[in-house]
Structure 1
Amino acid sequence: MVFTCSISGERCEMPVVSPISGRVFEKRVIVKYIKDQGCDPINQESLSEDQLIELKEAEDVGPPRSVGQTSIPSLLKMLQDEFDMYALNNFTLRQKLTTARQELSDTLYQHDGATRVIARLMKELAAAREALSTLKPHSAIQEVSTKAVDVEMEESQGMSDAVKEKLDQKAKVLTAARKARGKKLPDSLTKPEDIKSFEQKVCHTALHSTGVPGITALDLKDQLVATGGADKNVVLFDLEKEQEVTSWKGHSKKISSVILHPNKKTVISAAYDAQVRIWSVGEEGSRVTIDCHSAPVTDVSLHPTNDYILSVSHDASWAFSDINTGRAICVHRPRDSEGSKPINCGQLHPDGLIFGTGGDDNIVKIWDLRQQVNAANFPGHEGAIKCMAFSEIGFHLATGSDDGTVKLWDLRKLEMLRCSTEIIDGKAPVSCLSFDQFGAFLCVGSSDVKMIHVKPWAVVGEWANHTSTVTGVRIQADATGVVSVGMDKSLRVYSA
């Protein structure tokens, strides 16, 4: 049998196998590489010479005769050694070139993003000065020299009457539509007994970089999926065609949350670099950057008008921003009396007039968006709150915590209705939640994926295919399937 060296590409005279990568190498070549680098050349994991496994042929072959230093075999060996050295050097150079190209690409995207932000801020500053000069021609224009002052001015303006009116009108339309639908579930909704037969149908593991494994965020609209990864990239993927639509780079730290806009051509992402970015299909860079937080942005939620987003951050603040202009309409920062615990999740109510936040203080907080005040609190979790989801029926809120529990709250009575300890062991922290479009089912992600039938509060589906923490779950239309992503860098689809 003939073996080829994975480094030099030449036929092996003494083939050995690395138990780390499972690749075959010429022994003298890999030994030299191990002495220089101390790791496997394929996946860079630690490797010693003792771990190498020799591949032996069935027949016995005697050792070669020793030759003099000036013999032709000796010269051939010397030439072979030099060739091995150059092969190792070329292999290392190729690896370093690939890394350098990736780093250069990331740096160029960051520079482009910074240039766009600076240009936008300068344009807004010039417009503000011109407007102030027009309104108050006899007053001196105070020089604005820092970005912090710009933020202070924006916050003081608050929410305009026009924005409030827009939110009110949308809420009235949505409330009327919900009442018209009634409580009866459609016949097209998948039955609980059918969900029990769901099994994994699709698994994709190449959406994000393998160098920094892990998909950290997920959103779904019909057959389009938006994902964010630990590799700082945002990807738009078509489930039906099983191919990538596009991907974007620009964030400097891992993605925490993504939203696929209903127009299916816009994706919103939040990241640990304290920024929210708006991306459009067909454009390489972000169209808008929202930069009103001073710590990682942990969650974003799209308002039903599709023009505004809520963002929450580890700096204990939340912001309501316009995705078309990138302007923060209002930013709430805690007063000393309110404490400053990091906020881990935040979601808008389906009507868009209230929203919830959860953080390291273990308390679920309900806010009045128009008045920007804390309207109600739900204590009860014994660990940091990591995720939440409002039901489309309008009066249920589900929250998940590091304590391994999922709690269902009644927004009308302001009390807890259910707790997952009745049906789930709660050994692993709950990392993500999602209701279906009718509020009949609740999907839970932790160390595995579970589907809860809300009314009887019973688990009707459970899938343990992920090999690491599940970071995002979504239920497909009419509960015909479930989509999940996890830190094992996989996207999985479960259906009948």
Structure 2
Amino acid sequence: MSLICAISNEIPDVPVISPSSGAIFERRLIEKYLQDNGVDPISGKDLTVEELIEIKTPPVLKPKPPSATSIPAILKMMQDEWDVLMLHAFTQRQQLQTARQELSHALYQHDAACRVIARLNKEVTAAREALATLKPQSGIGSMQTVIQQPTMAPEAPGFASQPVEQAGMSDEVIQKLQDKATVLTQERKKKGKTVPEELVSAEKLRGFLTLSSHPGLHSASVPGILALDINSSDNSKILTGGNDKNATIFNKDTEQVVAILKGHTKKVTKVIYHPDENTVITGSPDSSIRIWNVPTSQTTLLLRCHEGPVTGLSLHPTGDYILSTSQDKYWAFSDIRTGRLLTKNLDSSERGLTAAQFHPDGLIFGTGTEDAQVLIWDLKEQSNVANFPGHIGEISAISFSENGYYLATAAADSCVKLWDLRKLKNFKTIQLEDGYEVKDLCFDQSGTYLAIAGTDIRVYLCKQWTELKVFNDHTAAATGVKFGRHAQWLASTSMDRTLKLYGIE
């Protein structure tokens, strides 16, 4: 071993093989050893210089340059190798984090599946016990009655499927809607003309900057975020719907994806985050509306009340009912607790519907049509009570102000019209540049500001209707815009696959 150590510290020489031990030595060193000892250093057998076998080796392909013999050059080489090592370690840490997230998501799905299986087993056991206790004279008809009661939709386990028949607007439902409207109207009168102290001022809003941009919420292979909503109770949770058929829940404070909701067979174009529960609602051109439980990322209700693409969704202020519109020319009112379709009505002129929004009181709502009409409906009477003509082209977005008096509408004519619900007339038109495509409208909770999403993001001061701020950071058309609590921040989505957040730096 001492010889081997010595060999490693000498200048390289021609290598040779000892026929006695088969070991490889440098000729200069083994010859010196044989002169002193005359035996193989490994096997201890007699060995002469003539018995050594020379190894024919090719010349070194990449010799070290002369500069590498200096200490600074050697230090630079070591620094380069260190940099490569650190970059490799960083890449491995990123891959590890991704693998952990995927594993966590898989474990959540597995846990949810186990819960569904356990519940189904319990239901099957209960059904068998019910069948066993049936009286013999009840006959086959009674057995069929029990068996035909569906507990889940055929698409996947764990769903409750909405029946085709309309349950109707019962007196109990109508009274519930009226009571909620009375409470909301009284609260609005108490607030009067004052605005919350926490509401951001117009001057501060003019100073908003882009705080962050998040491109990784949806698939890069099918780019585009099509819908946006914010949880009004937990103002850090943001819900987006994408071209990749998924809905994503993102926490802006931790900058982490909370849940990915998979189930739609086509893109997700409408999303709603329930204000009081950890529940979200999504609509898609696959003609379905899904109610999701966020902690489990599972569909709890599947509503099929339309035969065409779902084009509009709006949650009633009670938080128990959902309004939906579709290109099938119908609007529908459904119970999100039971999945029942309460009522479904055809547009009087049989036009495809493109947008839907509840009035803040919940007793009336607006719909947009493919032929530029804005219709106001009485929910209790299920009748069309007012029409707002004037746009050109398909209605792309409508939004009621929280003050209950204003309605903002947009269409393919590059303008936003403001309507006074008391006088039923258009009192202001915001004309945008030719070719400007408005995709979304949003008032803040106080009704002080109006945001427009389209070719860019614009914010207007209500009453004066002056432009406060324009954001041009998106590289493609903006598809959604929403105010955070007290307009302290703003969120927008775009076809460029990014979610952007704006506020005071």
TM-score where L is the length of structure 1: 0.69
User: How far off its partner does 1:285 sit?
Assistant: 2.6
Secondary structure in 2 matching 1:459: strand
User: How far off its partner does 1:282 sit?
Assistant: 2.4
Which of 225, 228, 253 lines up with 1:215 in the alignment?
225
**Matching of residues 57-96 of structure 1 within 5 Å:** none
The reply on whether 1:180 has 2:190 as its aligned counterpart is: yes
Tell me which residue corresponds to 1:331.
Answer: 344
Is the 2:417–2:428 contact (alpha carbons within 8 Å) kept by the matching residues of 1?
yes
The reply on whether 1:436 has 2:447 as its aligned counterpart is: no
Tell me which residue corresponds to 2:70.
Answer: none
Tell me which residue corresponds to 1:310.
Answer: 323
Secondary structure in 2 matching 1:377: strand
**Matching of residues 202-241 of structure 1 within 5 Å:** 202-221=212-231, 222-241=235-254
Distance of 1:171 and 1:426 partners within structure 2: 40
Secondary structure in 2 matching 1:167: helix
The reply on whether 1:465 has 2:473 as its aligned counterpart is: yes
User: How far off its partner does 1:152 sit?
Assistant: 9.5
Distance of 2:346 and 2:296 partners within structure 1: 33
Amino acid at match of 2:442: S
Is the 1:448–1:466 contact (alpha carbons within 8 Å) kept by the matching residues of 2?
yes
Is the 1:400–1:407 contact (alpha carbons within 8 Å) kept by the matching residues of 2?
yes
Which of 427, 450, 459 lines up with 1:451 in the alignment?
459
Distance of 2:371 and 2:163 partners within structure 1: 26
Is the 1:420–1:426 contact (alpha carbons within 8 Å) kept by the matching residues of 2?
no
Amino acid at match of 2:305: C
The reply on whether 1:154 has 2:162 as its aligned counterpart is: no
**Matching of residues 244-323 of structure 1 within 5 Å:** 244-323=257-336
Distance of 1:436 and 1:430 partners within structure 2: 18
Is the 1:444–1:450 contact (alpha carbons within 8 Å) kept by the matching residues of 2?
yes
User: How far off its partner does 1:151 sit?
Assistant: 8.9
Is the 2:371–2:392 contact (alpha carbons within 8 Å) kept by the matching residues of 1?
no
Amino acid at match of 2:198: S
Is the 2:163–2:340 contact (alpha carbons within 8 Å) kept by the matching residues of 1?
no
Distance of 1:433 and 1:403 partners within structure 2: 15
Distance of 2:171 and 2:214 partners within structure 1: 47
Amino acid at match of 1:220: I
User: How far off its partner does 1:341 sit?
Assistant: 2.0
RMSD value over aligned CA atoms? Answer: 2.9
Would the alpha carbon gap of residues 288 and 151 (structure 1) be closer, same or farther in structure 2, given more than 3 Å must change?
A: closer
Would the alpha carbon gap of residues 161 and 455 (structure 1) be closer, same or farther in structure 2, given more than 3 Å must change?
A: same
Distance of 2:164 and 2:218 partners within structure 1: 39
User: How far off its partner does 1:253 sit?
Assistant: 0.3
User: How far off its partner does 1:266 sit?
Assistant: 0.5
Would the alpha carbon gap of residues 284 and 438 (structure 1) be closer, same or farther in structure 2, given more than 3 Å must change?
A: closer
Q: Report Cα offsets for 1:420-452 as digits up to 9, x if no partner.
A: 12xx32531211010000101000001100001
Distance of 1:447 and 1:264 partners within structure 2: 33
Tell me which residue corresponds to 2:499.
Answer: 491
Secondary structure in 1 matching 2:399: strand
Would the alpha carbon gap of residues 491 and 153 (structure 1) be closer, same or farther in structure 2, given more than 3 Å must change?
A: closer
**Matching of residues 20-59 of structure 1 within 5 Å:** none
Distance of 2:372 and 2:179 partners within structure 1: 34
Q: Report Cα offsets for 1:79-108 as digits up to 9, x if no partner.
A: xxxxxxxxxxxxxxxxxxxxxxxxxx9xx9
Q: Report Cα offsets for 1:39-75 as digits up to 9, x if no partner.
A: xxxxxxxxxxxxxxxxxxxxxxxxxxxxxxxxxxxxx
Which of 360, 365, 369 lines up with 1:355 in the alignment?
365
Q: Report Cα offsets for 1:443-496 as digits up to 9, x if no partner.
A: 000110000101101010100111111111001111111100011100001111
Distance of 2:296 and 2:374 partners within structure 1: 38
Amino acid at match of 2:207: S
TM-score where L is the length of structure 2: 0.67
User: How far off its partner does 1:250 sit?
Assistant: 0.3
Distance of 1:219 and 1:447 partners within structure 2: 19
Which of 172, 175, 194 lines up with 1:165 in the alignment?
175
Distance of 1:446 and 1:153 partners within structure 2: 37
Distance of 2:209 and 2:298 partners within structure 1: 38
Identity of aligned residues (%): 43
Q: Report Cα offsets for 1:216-274 as digits up to 9, x if no partner.
A: 11001211100110000011110011101111100000011100111351010000100
Q: Report Cα offsets for 1:11-53 as digits up to 9, x if no partner.
A: xxxxxxxxxxxxxxxxxxxxxxxxxxxxxxxxxxxxxxxxxxx
Would the alpha carbon gap of residues 468 and 264 (structure 1) be closer, same or farther in structure 2, given more than 3 Å must change?
A: farther
Would the alpha carbon gap of residues 153 and 491 (structure 1) be closer, same or farther in structure 2, given more than 3 Å must change?
A: closer
Distance of 2:437 and 2:183 partners within structure 1: 37
User: How far off its partner does 1:327 sit?
Assistant: 1.1
Secondary structure in 1 matching 2:271: strand
Tell me which residue corresponds to 2:415.
Answer: 405
Amino acid at match of 1:474: K
Distance of 1:261 and 1:284 partners within structure 2: 15
User: Alignment length, in residue pairs?
Assistant: 362
User: How far off its partner does 1:284 sit?
Assistant: 3.7
Is the 1:154–1:330 contact (alpha carbons within 8 Å) kept by the matching residues of 2?
no
Secondary structure in 2 matching 1:170: helix
Secondary structure in 2 matching 1:358: strand
Amino acid at match of 1:227: T
Secondary structure in 2 matching 1:412: coil
Amino acid at match of 2:302: T
Distance of 1:327 and 1:264 partners within structure 2: 20
User: How far off its partner does 1:395 sit?
Assistant: 1.1
Amino acid at match of 1:263: D
The reply on whether 1:368 has 2:391 as its aligned counterpart is: no
Q: Report Cα offsets for 1:187-215 as digits up to 9, x if no partner.
A: 32111122111111110000001110000
- Runs of 5+ unmatched residues, structure 2: 1-105, 128-137, 154-160
Tell me which residue corresponds to 1:43.
Answer: none
Distance of 1:264 and 1:168 partners within structure 2: 22
Question: Which structure's CA Rg is the greater one?
Answer: 2
